[in-house]
């Protein structure tokens, strides 16, 4: 029998879970690095990275044109590794098993059922019978994610029986972790997401998953979601589950115990400060009395108000990421701070101007048969942001000294892939399986699975103890500066008009992850962004949007992972995820996010050659047109979207920023696709108009816009004056958090309603959740109409702070201004434009609060006859 995270006499197995993102393989060369090769920074680099010993992989599974990713591992009775992995080819996923044949990793069986196309987060363990169990999450036809299990034969070469469905209750079951305890029970824990509430579940059995006990609710998610649980086993019969929770208003790390009788212990806080403490990993000592835990540690007030003035100093969801280690005495629950292993690589220590700040992630923990804990982690240092390698170090518990970090060869990849580690019971060696696309910089290629062996008995250089509290931390300048209390989850707004009831929902689909080339270490991975949207941001709909071509090319596999990851968190009626990417086209056309209603939207690159070469199902292109002949201009983009047949919308941003848009270059906007503009962006500024106020809460004080050069013709007001029908929307972009809210009035919360509402321009933009109603002669914001009557405008505002000023803009000029009492959160008025004459009028609303937050409504277009 083989147990997980147990005694030195057994393998300690850390399976892969919870990853997201993707990449691919540029260099498929089978040439192996020398096991003692020294690597370091290139000549001329400002920061000198430490010399690090590289351990070469012993074998690999790596096929051109196929993505072999997300490895999980356990050891068979012969002492050989069995690896489960996701094979992505021909546009769909399958789950396969590989084992060592003549010293080489080779696929030997397919675990998933035929017809399944979306699989994530496999995990693997050996059961008391000597057979193996694989558990994974897959997307069902009804749109929810459920856990499945399948038994694998003793040597990994055969699957036995059919896949068994472990979960089927409404909601998404994701992030599974699997292991076998000292008493022969097989446990699985996972995150259940329903009605935007995340909680931890568990169940167990002995061999056949058909006969397993009912699921146990480990947490209830009340007050804040519980995320990414991980298993470990001590001396007792309980499963030890480490998870992180948003129950205190930021992510903290907890430990709880679950007994076979279904009883659940009170969660113990392992790390509970104002900082981000999450994504823990744990392993028990040989006697089962001590638990070693490593976890990610991030900025204070994670995910809270950060805007354009702060972005130049650093910031973002992934800024100042560190890796902490603690020790828990299981008999007393005493928690001891051990180390911050970030200090093993000094250039990763917090520095607001360093591109590597925050570049350390996803710890793995194992205890060798001599009782020494080992920590494995991904880090980005040698080749700039976007290239994460794996390093490891060993702790001597007797004196607190760590060994000099060593790196794994051919381990470069994205930031979030876990790497399972196992301990051999025969020779005490450590085996690690990991995914890599062998990227040299940021560009992704074809991903493969690599297996390396580490001999713990080799002599290693000690670098002494590592402090738990680093001397260098991100500066206090990164403190959020908006102290206005946030609206609670239940503080929502509905608008009844013309016999219809509309609900105001908030969203953001302009956020970048480690798939984008710029500010990768600050922005973080896709899962971090959905953590933000569901918990810290309190959003109702959300999507990430990585660049198609900025310093690298966005690959079809990255696009597949982006869409699949969005589906993991999609729970209709409570939280809606969208599929998006960004085309960062140069002046005069501007940057656009392309958002799809359904999966499978085409990747329409900016460059014609990229579309023709890399887009699956690419259509014949029309002749080159426009100012940049090598590009696909916006009007050809819209024609291609129409021809591909997937409903989409495009949303321009930073139109008046330094990127620049010239609205006069557009004869028309295609209103089948483009109906709103990102008027406000938290990462930069408002593009409303020349001389219009900027939000003080974002730009650091009173300021009016002064757009010049390429920016002059890019404002919203210029676009409106050129008869481009664009409503208002807001999003974040890089680093910005909790200060960009795109408001949409929908009848129900689902993808189609969001698209319909945005096409109808029933939208607002705001720096906080400011409720705004705006109509004219009974027509809602966004509508066009003709009338022979006097325009009669109704305004209603409910702010998050007292309202300083409400301005009615008519035809891009401030027309009426109201300044309510300094104590009033609410403002409403009916106004007749008695000065109107025949012709077209464009009216919209600007709201300014005394705390510096602002909001804008979409216009109404009125033609007076």
**pLDDT of 46-94, one tens digit each?**
344 445 688 899 999 999 999 999 999 998 888 889 999 999 998 899 9
Residue 15 has pLDDT above 60, yes or no: no
Q: What percentage of the chain carries pLDDT values higher than 70?
A: 88
Same domain, 755 and 791: no
Of 342-356, 372-386, 406-420, where does the model show the most confidence?
Answer: 406-420
Place of tokens 């009216």: 843
Q: What is the pLDDT of residue 707?
A: 82
Q: Indicate if 760 and 659 belong to the same structural domain.
A: yes
Find the mean pLDDT for residues 844-848.
Answer: 98
Measured CA to CA, the distance from residue 156 to residue 98 in angstroms comes to 8
User: Which helix (DSSP H) or strand (DSSP E) does residue 793 occupy?
Assistant: strand 792-798
Residue 844 contacts residue 774 (beta carbons within 8 Å): yes
Question: Once rounded to an integer, what is the mean pLDDT over residues 198-216?
Answer: 93
pLDDT of residue 8: 27
Using pLDDT thresholds of 50, 70 and 90, give the confidence band for residue 12.
very low
**Of residues 238 and 311, which shows the higher confidence score?**
238
Mean pLDDT of 348-353: 49
Residues 534 and 401 in one domain: no
Within a domain: 23: no
791 and 740 together in one domain: no
- Phi (first) and psi of residue 522, to 5 degrees: -85, -35
pLDDT on residue 711: 79
Mean pLDDT of 754-758: 98
pLDDT value at position 34? 27
State mean pLDDT over 644-665: 90
- In angstroms, rounded to a whole number, what is the distance separating the alpha carbons of residues 632 and 215? 52
Do residues 137 and 201 both lie within one domain? yes
The pLDDT of residue 50: 47
Residue 183: predicted pLDDT: 93
Question: Exposure pattern of 32-52 as b/e (b: 16+ CB <10 Å)?
Answer: eeeeeeeeebeeeeeeebeeb
Cα separation, 608 vs 624, in Å, equals 9
Give the residue from 487, 448, 553 showing the smallest Cα distance to 57: 448
pLDDT tens for 91-132 read 899 999 999 999 999 999 999 999 899 999 999 999 999 999
5 has pLDDT over 50? no
User: Is the predicted pLDDT of residue 10 greater than 60, yes or no?
Assistant: no
Asked, for residue 80, whether it belongs to a domain, the answer is: yes
Q: Per-residue pLDDT tens for 292-306?
A: 999 999 988 888 866
Q: Are residues 780 and 745 in the same domain?
A: no
pLDDT band at 668 (very low <50, low <70, confident <90, very high): very high
Statement: residue 822 has pLDDT above 60: yes
pLDDT of 24 reads 25
Q: Can you tell me the mean pLDDT for 793-814?
A: 97
Together in a domain, 655 and 578? yes
Q: Which token pair is 586? A: 């140069």
User: pLDDT tens digits, residue range 695-739?
Assistant: 887 766 678 888 887 778 999 999 999 999 999 999 987 777 778
- Count of Cβ atoms closer than 10 Å to residue 331 Cβ: 12
Q: Is the pLDDT of residue 234 over 50?
A: yes
The larger pLDDT score, comparing residue 667 to residue 808, is at: 808
Can you give the CATH number for the domain in which 668 is found? 3.20.20.140
Q: Is the pLDDT of residue 17 over 80?
A: no
For 68, half-sphere exposure in the C-beta direction (CA atoms, 13 angstrom radius) is: 23
Can you tell me whether residue 567 is helix, strand or coil?
A: helix
DSSP string, 75-143: E-TTS-EEEEEEEEETTEEEEEEEEEETTEEEEEEE-SPTT---EEEEEEEE-TTS-EEEEEEEE-TTS
In this prediction, residue 700 carries a pLDDT of: 66
* Cβ density class 406-439: b for 16+ within 10 Å, e for less: bbbbbbbbbbbbbbbbbbbbeeebbbbbbbbbbb
Start-to-end CA span in the chain (Å): 85
Q: How does strand 741-746 pair with strand 763-766?
A: antiparallel
Q: Which two tokens stand for residue 271?
A: 């790390």
Do 145 and 269 belong together in one domain?
yes
Q: Is pLDDT of 853 > 80?
A: yes
pLDDT of residue 519: 65
Residue given tokens 């008009």 in the structure block = 497
Q: Residue 600's pLDDT is what?
A: 96
Within this chain, do residues 800 and 746 fall inside the same structural domain, yes or no? no
In a domain, 213, yes or no: yes
Give the sign of the dihedral formed by CA 60, CA 65, CA 70, CA 71. Answer: negative
Residue ending a domain, choose from 733, 750, 769: 769
Q: Could you tell me how far CA 119 lies from the centroid of its own chain?
A: 18
Q: Which of 723, 752, 769 is the last residue of a domain?
A: 769
Residue 481 placed within a domain: no
**273 in a structural domain:** yes
Domain CATH number, residue 370: 2.120.10.10
Note whether 448 and 566 are same-domain residues.
Answer: no
**Arithmetic mean of pLDDT over the chain:** 88
pLDDT at 348: 63
pLDDT at 104: 94
User: What pLDDT was estimated at residue 304?
Assistant: 82
Q: Residue 384 and residue 32: Cα distance in Å, rounded?
A: 23
| Residues facing residue 327 across a β-bridge | 292, 336
On whether the CB atoms of residues 221 and 199 are closer than 8 A, the answer is: yes
Has residue 580 got a pLDDT over 90? Answer: yes
pTM of the complete model: 0.91
As given in the structure block, the two tokens for residue 622 are 């029309």
pLDDT at position 358: 58
Cβ atoms of residues 534 and 575 within 8 Å = yes
Q: Give the total number of structural domains in the chain.
A: 3
Nearest to 282 by CA among 455, 421, 136: 421
154, 77 contact by CB (below 8 A): yes
Helices (H) then strands (E): counts for the chain? 9, 54
d(CA 538, CA 525): 19
Tens of pLDDT along 489-548? 889 999 999 999 999 999 999 998 888 887 667 788 999 999 999 999 999 999 999 999
Let me know if residue 226 belongs to a domain. yes
**Domain range enclosing 717:** 503-769
Give the pLDDT score at 35.
28
pLDDT at position 608 over 50: yes
Q: Judge if 725 and 826 occupy the same domain.
A: no
pLDDT surpasses 70 at 382: no
Q: Answer yes or no: is 248 within a domain.
A: yes
- Three-state SS string over 497-541 comes to ECCEEEEEEEEECCCCCCCCCCCHHHHCCHHHHHHHHHHHCCCCE
Grade residue 26 by pLDDT with cuts at 50, 70 and 90: very low
pLDDT at 310 over 60: no
**Contact (CB, 8 A) for 446 and 62:** yes
8 falls within a domain: no
What's the CA gap between 413 and 390, in Å, rounded? Answer: 9
Residue 59 gets which letter from DSSP? E
Domain boundary among 721, 748, 769: 769
For residue range 45-57, list pLDDT tens digits in order. Answer: 434 444 568 889 9
Position 836 pLDDT exceeds 80 = yes
| Whether residues 81 and 202 fall in one domain | yes
Three-point CA angle 694, 700, 706, nearest 5°: 35
């Amino acid at each position: 029998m083989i147990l997980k995270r147990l005694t030195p006499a057994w393998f300690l197995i850390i399976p892969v879970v919870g990853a997201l993102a993707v990449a691919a393989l540029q260099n498929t060369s089978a040439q192996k690095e020398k096991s003692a090769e020294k690597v370091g920074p290139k000549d001329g680099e400002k920061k000198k990275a430490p010399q690090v010993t590289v351990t070469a992989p012993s074998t690999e599974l790596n096929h051109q044109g196929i993505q072999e990713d997300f490895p999980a591992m356990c050891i068979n009775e012969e002492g050989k590794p069995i690896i489960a992995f996701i094979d992505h080819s021909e546009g769909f996923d399958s789950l396969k098993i590989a084992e060592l044949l003549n010293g080489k990793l080779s696929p030997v069986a397919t675990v998933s059922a035929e017809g399944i196309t979306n699989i994530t987060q496999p995990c693997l363990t050996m059961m008391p019978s000597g057979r193996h169990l694989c558990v994974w999450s897959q997307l069902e036809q009804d749109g929810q994610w459920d856990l499945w299990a399948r038994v694998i034969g003793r040597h990994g070469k055969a699957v036995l029986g059919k896949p068994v469905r472990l979960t089927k209750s409404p909601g998404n079951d994701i992030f599974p972790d699997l292991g076998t305890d000292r008493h022969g029970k097989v446990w699985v824990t996972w995150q259940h997401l329903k009605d935007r509430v995340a909680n931890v579940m568990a169940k167990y059995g002995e061999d056949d998953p058909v006969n397993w006990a009912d699921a146990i609710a480990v947490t209830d998610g009340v007050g804040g979601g519980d995320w990414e649980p991980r298993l470990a086993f001590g001396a007792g019969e309980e499963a030890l589950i480490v998870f992180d929770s948003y129950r205190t208003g930021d992510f903290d790390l907890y430990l709880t115990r679950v007994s076979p009788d279904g009883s659940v212990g009170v969660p113990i806080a392992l790390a509970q400060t104002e900082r981000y403490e999450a994504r823990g990993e744990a392993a028990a000592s040989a006697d089962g009395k001590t638990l070693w835990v490593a976890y990610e540690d991030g900025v204070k007030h994670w995910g809270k108000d950060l805007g354009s003035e702060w972005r130049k100093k650093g910031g973002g969801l992934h800024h100042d990421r560190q890796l902490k280690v603690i020790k828990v005495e299981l008999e007393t629950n005493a928690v001891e701070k051990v180390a911050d292993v970030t200090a093993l690589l000094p250039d990763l220590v917090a520095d607001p101007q360093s591109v590597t700040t925050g570049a350390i992630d996803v710890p793995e923990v194992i205890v060798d048969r001599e009782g020494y804990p080992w920590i494995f982690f991904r880090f980005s240092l040698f080749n700039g942001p976007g290239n994460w390698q794996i390093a490891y170090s060993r702790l001597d518990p007797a004196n607190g000294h760590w060994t000099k970090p060593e790196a794994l060869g051919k381990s470069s990849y994205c930031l979030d892939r876990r790497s399972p580690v196992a301990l051999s019971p025969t020779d005490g060696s450590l085996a690690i399986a990991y995914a890599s696309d062998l990227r040299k910089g940021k560009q992704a290629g074809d991903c493969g699975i690599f297996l390396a062996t580490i001999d713990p008995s080799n002599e290693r250089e000690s670098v002494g103890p590592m402090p738990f509290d680093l001397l260098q931390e991100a500066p206090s300048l990164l403190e959020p500066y908006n102290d206005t209390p946030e609206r609670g989850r239940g503080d929502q707004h509905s608008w009844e008009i013309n016999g219809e009831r509309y609900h105001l929902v908030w969203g953001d689909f302009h956020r970048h992850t480690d798939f984008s080339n710029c500010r990768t270490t600050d922005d973080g991975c896709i899962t971090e962004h959905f953590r933000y949207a569901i918990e810290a941001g309190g959003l109702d709909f959300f999507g990430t949007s990585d660049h198609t071509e900025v310093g690298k090319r966005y690959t079809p596999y990255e696009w597949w992972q982006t869409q699949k990851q969005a589906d993991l968190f999609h729970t209709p009626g409570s939280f809606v995820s969208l599929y998006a990417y960004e085309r960062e086209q140069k002046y005069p056309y501007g940057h656009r996010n392309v958002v799809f209603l359904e999966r499978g939207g085409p990747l329409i690159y900016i460059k014609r050659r990229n579309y023709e070469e890399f887009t699956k199902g690419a259509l014949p292109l029309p002749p080159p047109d426009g100012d940049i002949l090598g590009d696909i201009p916006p009007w050809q983009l819209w024609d291609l979207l129409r021809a591909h047949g997937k409903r989409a919308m495009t949303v321009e941003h930073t139109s008046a920023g330094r990127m620049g848009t010239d609205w006069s270059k557009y004869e028309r906007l295609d209103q089948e696709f483009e109906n709103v503009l990102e008027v406000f962006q938290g990462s930069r500024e408002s593009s409303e108009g020349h001389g219009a106020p900027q939000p003080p809460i974002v730009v650091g004080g009173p300021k009016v816009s002064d757009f010049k050069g390429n920016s002059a013709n890019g404002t919203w007001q210029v676009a409106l004056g050129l008869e481009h029908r664009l409503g208002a929307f807001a999003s974040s972009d890089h680093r910005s958090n909790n200060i960009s809210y795109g408001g949409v009035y929908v009848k129900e919360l689902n993808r189609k309603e969001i698209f319909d509402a945005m096409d109808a321009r029933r939208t607002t933009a705001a720096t906080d959740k400011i409720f705004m109603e705006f109509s004219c002669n009974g027509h809602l914001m966004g509508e066009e109409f003709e009338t022979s009557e006097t325009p009669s405008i109704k305004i209603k505002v409910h702010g998050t702070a007292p309202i300083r000023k409400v301005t009615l803009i008519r035809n891009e000029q401030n027309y009426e201004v109201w300044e309510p009492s300094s104590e009033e959160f609410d403002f409403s008025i009916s106004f007749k434009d008695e000065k109107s004459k025949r012709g077209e009028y464009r009216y919209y609303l600007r709201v300014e609060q005394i705390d510096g937050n602002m909001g804008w409504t979409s216009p109404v277009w009125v033609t007076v006859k």
